[in-house]
Structure 1
Amino acid sequence: MSSADVTGSRRGFVLVTSATIVAGVGGYAITTILARGLGESYGLFAIFWSALYLVAGALSGIQQEVARATQPRTVTPRRPASVIVLALGAAAAAMVLVLVSSPLWVPTALGSEGWALLPPLTAGAGCFVLMTAAAGTMYGTHSWRVLAAFIVLDVAFRLLLVCILLPLGVGVVGLAWAAVVPYGLVLLVVVLPAWRTLFASSQLDVSYRAVTANVVRTVAAAASTAVIVSGFPLLIGFSSAGDDARMVSAVVFALTLTRAPIVVSTLSLQGYLLVQFRDHRASATRLMLRLFALLLLAAVLLAALAWWLGADAIVWLAGEDFRLPGWYVAALVGTSVATGWIMVAGTAALARGLHGGYSAGWVLTAIVAVVIMMLPIDLLVRSTLALGIAPLVGLAVHILALLRRRRRLELADPEVQ
């Protein structure tokens, strides 16, 4: 790796990490403002937001494949797939899927205002596909400055619209549009001015048929990721019909609060890590092991802090009804390392083009998590087991896929290190 490559990688890491931190702070600010401003109506907005990001979590698989496949434009004998055509087709498909499936889930999931919330949810799904394709191209072409602006402005526009519309009393539906419109604003403000840099000078390295097959597999894996990350609170609610409502609320709140430092941070850096694994294959194994060690160290330190102060901190933030045992707060933090590990290993597998192993690992993770959460045992115990065991099962699949590929390469070339 040249010194210029190293410098560029470091600069990209700093920019993307800084933008992610700023966006995270902005996201917490939006959540706090809406919770205080909407009161009892916040629950409906939170359900809409959860539904939107479950869809977004699945569609983020498009970003991963675009980031992996984007290369500088070259003359090739076979015309490769276009990011623009892929994005427009996937956006249309996502919107149709949301609309066609809506009778199955809108009345029960979104309540009395569900049908009014369907249009912003549908528009949000379509715009998010375009955003993920654009972000994937930014990762693939190492357009770090544009990407950082892309990440920050998305949250900044949303925060601005919420602050303007909330005092006007627009209600949940109006605020739902405020959550979705920033997708389009960022596309206009960031992507269009950088059109030539992003799209005219780059292309995908596969045909439409191949990229469609790859996207289907990465989307399946991303949907499974959403089950263990953004969708896990919904899984808790679905599997906790006989549990104490106060305990369920406390667990969901603690889950959101304590796992974000490791899980959300690793999730946000997947695009960056993917291009690092793709572009620097000789050092990919060392990078993966270093990240494993870093995540483990962070989890141990944060878990110890959570055991000592976590329960009281949660009570200070949310009230005595949200008190949980210290061991459980520590367990939520500690088990987040397993999710971080599978994200890193999965990204390494995807960078090698191991779409089958990547998808299989995440799908198996989701299945194991669902099975454990349905066991007739205490909520604290089964959620700890699901969050700790399920990602490790998927991690084993990803590692096995990587080892098999390495073995095939060694057989083909004995000098492969």
Structure 2
Amino acid sequence: MRWVAIASAVAAITGYVVILIATTTLGAERFELFNVFWGLFFTLNGIVMGLMHETTRGVRAMARPDDETWERERSHGQDDEAVLEAFEAEELEDASVSAEARAADLALARASNASGINPVKTSVTISLVIGALVLATSPLWAPALLPAQYGATATGLLTVAITLTTVQAVFSGVLSGIGRWRAYAILTMIESFGRVIVALIATLLSDPVTGFLVATVTGMISSPIIMLTPVGRRALSAHTDVSLRSFLSRGGQSMLAASAAAVLVVGFPVLIKATRPGTDPVLLSNLLLAVTLTRAPILTPITSFQSAIVVYFVDRFRQGRRVLLIPIAAVLGIAIVGAGLAWLVGPPIIELMGRGFTVGGHVLAALTFVAGVTGCLYLSGAAVLARERHGVYVAGWWTATIVAIVVLLVTPGVLDAVVLALGLGPLLGVLVHLIFGMGPVTRDNETAPEPSTEPEREAAEHAR
């Protein structure tokens, strides 16, 4: 997991490097063109990540068999060592092979013998369907979100990118499921550094906007690179524990759960553009940059350690709603302090981002505080997941998203609308989690619930 932590940090840093390059190159007049496309791509990317979660779960379920499967293997003389030798005899004899690699090979050996579907092969068809849907529906959203001069280019890039990204999401799930964390981290870092390289090239072009659009989707090249390596080629043989129908059903549910958070967080620039089409581009660029920068200090740590936060709530599930008092108080306390700092030092920092960028301290302070409210929504969602109330988890996030959209539509001023949307939406989402998801849980012997997803189980084992 160390590799995953490093890759996550690299991805976060390089993402903001790309934004800095874009602001200094495009200025406030054109930054919103790039930022809306950035938000649109990462919204779709966040949605298809639901397939990654289901793939991880399904592959890991086969890589770590239950007692019945274990006994069946032993009855056929297939203990762990025998399974591994049959799959990778040469590597077993290599003393340089790490324990993690041996464990991953054993996991892959089990998953390769599974009776379920091959998720990567299945993802090719799924990706073509998703890409076709993006292209077919583009006349409905492209004119409102994308400028006419870049509409065709942006739509084409988005269609190709989301098609390949869907396969990448499933492949990432396979790597996670078999425990190939180093390969998973390398995939993430190739994507991140590739985006920075293309962004730097874009600054030299006569039409840098197109270059930044390409930089946004450059990460789609990382999976083909990893798939060509020996580790990547072997990982393609992994299977899940479910049929095609179950995989599509479970994957669809995971995508639905992921979509609300994706729309409200990374897709917020798209919501603003869609609901406030007549907003001045310079004002919109300033607002989008301010939202991005004020969210980072609070939301990045929370999202990076989401699995560990779930484990925290799993271990304390009998405390009921009280379990959220200290975490929420801590996040809101940080948000208040951050709001004060944003008011004092935020405006000069914004002005350093490029020509035409200027945002008042009171706006930055308000956006920083409401970022803390969104952080509380992540916490309440994690607490609800720890109690295995997935329906309430999704309902809370969708409540926040729908309320934010309504507020953006009905509030007169764009600045007031954005602050209210990012404050009121998540606040009501938290209330849904607290009221419907944090009631009494009846368990035999009052034992804590087991984490229900593979990332949560991995975090639990690490915590122990």
The answer to whether the aligner puts 1:28 opposite 2:28 as a matched pair is: no
Given candidates 325, 331, 348, the residue that maps to 1:295 is 331
Equivalent-residue separation in structure 2 for 1:90 and 1:353 (angstroms): 28
Match of 1:310 in 2: 346
Which of 49, 61, 86 in structure 1 is aligned with 2:38?
A: 49
Q: Is the 8 A contact 2:24 2:353 kept in 1?
A: no
Aligned: 1:403 with 2:434: no
**Rounded Cα–Cα distance in structure 2 between residues aligned with 1:332 and 1:303:** 8
Measure, in 2, the Cα distance between the counterparts of 1:243 and 1:107: 15
Instruction: Pick the aligned partner of 1:260 from 275, 296, 300.
Output: 296
The answer to whether the 8 A contact 2:261-2:397 is kept is yes
Aligned 1:7-156 pairs, distance under 5 A: 12=1, 14-37=2-25, 43-71=32-60, 72-73=62-63, 74=65, 75=69, 79-110=115-146, 111-156=148-193
1:379-399 per-position Cα deviation (integer Å, ceiling 9, x unaligned): 333322221221132233344
- How far does residue 369 in structure 1 lie from its aligned partner after superposition? 0.7
Pair 315,294 (structure 1): closer, same or farther in 2 beyond 3 Å: same
CA 398–330 in structure 1, closer or farther in 2 if over 3 Å, else same: same
Matching residue of 1:5? none
CA-atom RMSD in angstroms: 3.7
What's the counterpart of residue 7 of structure 1? none
Letter in structure 1 aligned against 2:13: V
Question: In the alignment, what sits opposite 2:263?
Answer: 227
C-alpha contact (below 8 Å) 2:290/2:359 kept by paired residues: no
Aligned pairs, number: 395
1:387 maps to which residue?
A: 422
Instruction: Quote the residue 2:194 is aligned against.
Output: 157
* C-alpha distance after superposition, 1:125-171 (max 9, x if no partner): 01211222233344444443333322222111222234346536576
Q: Show the counterpart of 1:3.
A: none
Q: Which moved more, 1:229-238 or 1:157-166?
A: 157-166
- Match for residue 111 of structure 2? none
Going from structure 1 to structure 2, the CA distance change for 1:242 and 1:117 (only over 3 Å counts) comes to closer
| Partner deviation per Cα, 1:98-147 (whole Å, 9 max, x = no partner) | 12112223344331232233322111101211222233344444443333
CA 1:83 to 1:298, structure 2 compared with 1: closer, same or farther past 3 Å?
farther
Cα separation, 2, equivalents of 1:213 and 1:391: 28
TM-score by length of 1: 0.79
- How do residues 270-281 of structure 1 correspond to structure 2 at under 5 angstroms? 270=306, 272-273=307-308, 277=311, 281=314
* 1:363 equivalenced with 2:351 (yes/no): no
Whole-angstrom distance in 1 between the partners of 2:434 and 2:177: 24
- Aligned letter for 2:126? A
Q: Give the letter for the 1:235 counterpart.
A: L
Counterparts in 2 of 1:371 and 1:113: CA distance versus 1, 3 Å: closer
Q: Per chain length, whose mean CA-contact separation is higher, i.e. which structure has more relative contact order (CA < 8 Å, sep 6+)?
A: 2
Where structure 1 has 5 or more consecutive residues not aligned to the other structure, the ranges are 1-11
Equivalent runs, 1:335-374 vs 2, <5 Å: 335-347=370-382, 349=384, 354-374=389-409
Supply the distance in 1 between the matched residues of 2:417 and 2:381 (Cα, whole angstroms).
25
Local SS of the residue matching 1:323: coil
User: Does the 8 Å CA contact 1:134/1:191 hold for their aligned counterparts?
Assistant: no
For 2:254, the aligned partner's letter is T
TM-score of the aligned structures, taking structure 2 as reference length: 0.72
Q: Report sequence identity in percent.
A: 29
1:334 to 1:198, Cα distance in 2 relative to 1, 3 A: farther
Deviates more, 1:373-382 or 1:348-357: 348-357
Q: Following the alignment from structure 1 to structure 2, what is the Cα–Cα distance between the partners of residues 191 and 273?
A: 33
Q: Within 2, Cα distance between the matches of 1:55 and 1:185? A: 18
Instruction: Summarize the alignment of residues 171-210 of structure 1 with structure 2, pairs less than 5 Å apart.
Output: 172-173=209-210, 176-189=213-226, 192-195=229-232, 198=235, 203-210=239-246
Q: 1:192 to 1:99 in 2, by over 3 A?
A: farther
Q: CA deviation at 1:242?
A: 6.8
Shift of 1:364: 1.4
Segments of structure 2 that go 5 or more residues without pairing to the other structure are 73-113, 449-464
The residue aligned with 2:77 is none
- In the TM superposition, residue 255 of structure 1 has moved relative to its aligned partner by 0.8
> What CA distance in whole angstroms lies between the structure 1 residues aligned with 2:5 and 2:327?
15
Change (3 A) 1:199 1:283: farther
1:357 and 1:252 mapped to 2: Cα distance?
30
Tell me: CA distance 1:401–1:70, structure 2 relative to 1, closer, same or farther (3 Å): farther
Q: Structure 2 vs 1, CA of residues 160 and 252 (structure 1 numbering), >3 Å: closer, same or farther?
A: closer
| C-alpha displacement of 1:232 | 1.8
CA contact (8 A) 2:55 2:177 kept: yes
The whole-number CA distance in structure 1 between the counterparts of 2:204 and 2:284 is 31
Question: Would the alpha carbon gap of residues 305 and 166 (structure 1) be closer, same or farther in structure 2, given more than 3 Å must change?
Answer: closer
Q: Is the 8 A contact 1:68 1:351 kept in 2?
A: no
Contact 2:188 2:222 (8 Å CA) reproduced: no
Q: Structure 1 residues 68-77 or 231-240, which shifts more? A: 68-77
Aligned counterpart, 2:95: none
Change (3 A) 1:342 1:68: farther
